[in-house]
Structure 1
Amino acid sequence: MSTRHAVVVTHQRLRSSGNVVAEVVEQLRHVGFDVTIVDNLEAPEFGVQPPVVKENTEIVVVLGGDGTILRAAELVHCTQVPIIGINMGHVGFLAEFESFQLSDAIRRVAEHDYSVDERMIAHVDVTLPGADKPLQDWALNDITVERADRGKMVELGIQVDGVDMSSFGCDGVIVSTPTGSTAYAFSAGGPIIWPNVQALQLVPIAAHALFARPLVIGAGSTFTMEVLDNSMSEGWICCDGRRQRVLPKGTRIDVRQSRDTLRLARLSGVPFTNRLVTKFDLPVVGWREHAQQQAQAQLAAGDAAAEGSAGEGR
């Protein structure tokens, strides 16, 4: 019988601060997995595909927050190996289980008791001035095009499907997948996009323009950004907060849906809406309804007190 292989991705701080990583490795080995630990994933250069997991890898178990999952995504890019996240961070939007559910998660992984959620990935082509072919990269969450000089604005021209949409000076723009819509793009004022929607969004950051609203395009469309020749600053690009480089003036950036996807192992079947409400602790009761409930509770308490006083008087 062939050995089952799992990769545990974590970070050195978690590995050295307690026994949780050793516990997970021991439990995986107990249920029949050969385990490799990866705890120091240096960010590769922009446009360079780092080595991926071995072909016989069955699953990648991530111990950490969403940032650790983004690092693990580099290990499975262009493969069919799924990732399961066990949240050791704060929000953990991409994680499936919390830390206190470790044993249950490993048991179900061992029994193949999980489904696979395929997440859209964004593909980016960066064509430098005078280049014969573009540099290529990708992102699970977002691709940011920002100013290289932190004290100046970058002038960007924006196109959709080759049609000029706008141009403005700004701190930058974020092009986000649905998965990344709850991350940097959300903080910059972009909408939340459900993961099953095949779309990309572009969110300007502090744009000096009258019309600078988020744009959402379908899966067959392409965002194009150009660092204009009259820009006060060169540009700078970063994919998933990891792979980055400076963009000289005149650089063209094309972002579209990738043919590849990321496979997330899902154990709970909890709808995204439930996850959204729970992770963001959304106030599902509005302030008017809350005030009405308080007033009704005070009225009920007053009626109960009055009945109690009347009973004592008898």
Structure 2
Amino acid sequence: MKNFYVIVNLDKKFARETGRGIKEYLEDKGAVCILKEEKRPKESGRYTDVSEVPLEMECVITLGGDGTLIQAARDLAALQIPLIGINLGHLGYLTQISREEDINSMLDCLLTDSYHIEERMMLDGTIIRDEKIFFQDISLNEILLTRTGTPRVLHFRIFVNQEFLNEYTADGMIIATPTGSTAYNLSAGGPIAVPHAHMIVMTPVCSHALNARSIVLPEEDRLSIEILGNEQCVTYDGDMMKQLRCGDRIEIRKSQCFTRLIKLNSISFLENLRNKMSGI
């Protein structure tokens, strides 16, 4: 790799200094490095516009945490450029290294192509209102149905491949990818899936039924969720949020886009999970 695009989350401590150090190191090695320092989203809700990234870019490096990496994955999904993250936050399941580790060694691996790439599935979520597409977006972790306004239980009806599954009364519903299984899904008691798997995990949040459990569906399944009340919204990876109305429908399926994550070390998913969980 010789062409790098570095996205800096300026809300993180030492992010600006770290980003400029990376740019200097890469350019000293003869590489091209574009540094993007962004703090607030654009009107589109994106932090990075696809049009801002030159076509010759071979790698996106994010400085922040998992949220910064996920945002970049969503913003730049159409480009399918491999991503790698440097963790300046707390846990960091997706980011490869932290600021305290040897960033220059990581950069040397990228410069010499000493890495491999994992492909992670994403989800498409389309809001249908009055039988027309009202909004559409993608997510790497999860699509979440949750409440707005005063605390109250939510009501929705779920179909899988047009077959009625169940009617739920709960505080929310998580539709997660394997990558997102260690995020909100895990906190809500859902199962953990290996990140390279291709499946859809559906987990109710605080369901008002004793028999409500997570359901794991194959990647080709399509979900349709009918909204049966007001004061509800849908979020994509905890970032993009859209208000819902009673009668809206959300169609969720595997996206044709996927995220390409660069992996440098030989640490297995289970070892990484054990290390991260022991630090909570």
Length-normalised TM-score, structure 2: 0.91
SS at 2:23's partner residue? helix
Shift in Å at residue 121 of structure 1?
Answer: 0.5
- In 2 relative to 1, CA 183–203 (structure 1 residues): closer, same or farther, beyond 3 Å? same
Aligned residue type for 1:12: L
Greater Cα shift, 94-103 or 38-47 = 38-47
Structure 1: distance between partners of 2:254 and 2:150: 30
- In 2 relative to 1, CA 39–212 (structure 1 residues): closer, same or farther, beyond 3 Å? farther
Aligned residue type for 1:193: A
Structure 2: distance between partners of 1:252 and 1:182: 27
Q: 2:244 — aligned with what?
A: 247
Shift in Å at residue 175 of structure 1?
Answer: 0.6
Shift in Å at residue 74 of structure 1?
Answer: 2.9
Shift in Å at residue 226 of structure 1?
Answer: 0.9
**How do residues 212-251 of structure 1 correspond to structure 2 at under 5 angstroms?**
212-228=212-228, 231=229, 233-251=230-248
Q: 1:111 — aligned with what?
A: 112
Does the aligned pair in 1 maintain the 2:11–2:39 contact within 8 Å? Answer: no
Unaligned runs of 5+ in 2: none
Percent of aligned pairs with the same residue? 30
- In 2 relative to 1, CA 37–282 (structure 1 residues): closer, same or farther, beyond 3 Å? closer
Q: 2:27 — aligned with what?
A: 29
Aligned residue type for 1:106: L
Q: 2:272 — aligned with what?
A: 275
Instruction: Give the alignment partner of residue 264 of structure 1, picking from 247, 261, 265.
Output: 261
Structure 2: distance between partners of 1:259 and 1:30: 38
Structure 2: distance between partners of 1:126 and 1:14: 33
Aligned residue pair count: 277
- In 2 relative to 1, CA 268–136 (structure 1 residues): closer, same or farther, beyond 3 Å? same
Structure 2: distance between partners of 1:64 and 1:170: 33
**How do residues 129-208 of structure 1 correspond to structure 2 at under 5 angstroms?**
130-208=130-208
- In 2 relative to 1, CA 157–84 (structure 1 residues): closer, same or farther, beyond 3 Å? same
Shift in Å at residue 256 of structure 1?
Answer: 1.1
Unaligned runs of 5+ in 1: 284-314
More strand by share: 2
Structure 2: distance between partners of 1:260 and 1:49: 18
Runs of 4+ in structure 1 displaced over 4 angstroms? 15-18, 43-50
Does the aligned pair in 1 maintain the 2:126–2:137 contact within 8 Å? Answer: yes
Shift in Å at residue 224 of structure 1?
Answer: 1.8
Instruction: Give the alignment partner of residue 40 of structure 1, picking from 38, 41, 44.
Output: 38
Shift in Å at residue 237 of structure 1?
Answer: 0.7
SS at 1:280's partner residue? helix
SS at 2:150's partner residue? coil
**How do residues 45-84 of structure 1 correspond to structure 2 at under 5 angstroms?**
51-52=49-50, 53-84=53-84
SS at 1:29's partner residue? helix
Does the aligned pair in 1 maintain the 2:10–2:39 contact within 8 Å? Answer: no
Does the aligned pair in 2 maintain the 1:47–1:137 contact within 8 Å? Answer: no
Shift in Å at residue 63 of structure 1?
Answer: 1.4
Structure 1: distance between partners of 2:275 and 2:135: 39
More helix by share: 1
**Deviation readout 1:238-291 (Å, 9 max, x if unpaired):** 1011111101110111111111110001111322111111111289xxxxxxxx
**Deviation readout 1:114-161 (Å, 9 max, x if unpaired):** 111111101111101x14335221100011011223322221112222
Higher radius of gyration, 1 or 2: 1
Aligned residue type for 1:84: I
Structure 1: distance between partners of 2:126 and 2:21: 42
Structure 1: distance between partners of 2:103 and 2:117: 19
- In 2 relative to 1, CA 250–43 (structure 1 residues): closer, same or farther, beyond 3 Å? farther
User: For the aligned residues, what is the CA RMSD?
Assistant: 2.4
- In 2 relative to 1, CA 154–47 (structure 1 residues): closer, same or farther, beyond 3 Å? farther
**Deviation readout 1:50-107 (Å, 9 max, x if unpaired):** 6212211110111121011112113421222100111221111001122212010011
SS at 2:133's partner residue? coil
Structure 1: distance between partners of 2:45 and 2:68: 20
Structure 2: distance between partners of 1:137 and 1:107: 35
Shift in Å at residue 162 of structure 1?
Answer: 1.4
- In 2 relative to 1, CA 16–277 (structure 1 residues): closer, same or farther, beyond 3 Å? closer
Does the aligned pair in 2 maintain the 1:43–1:243 contact within 8 Å? Answer: no
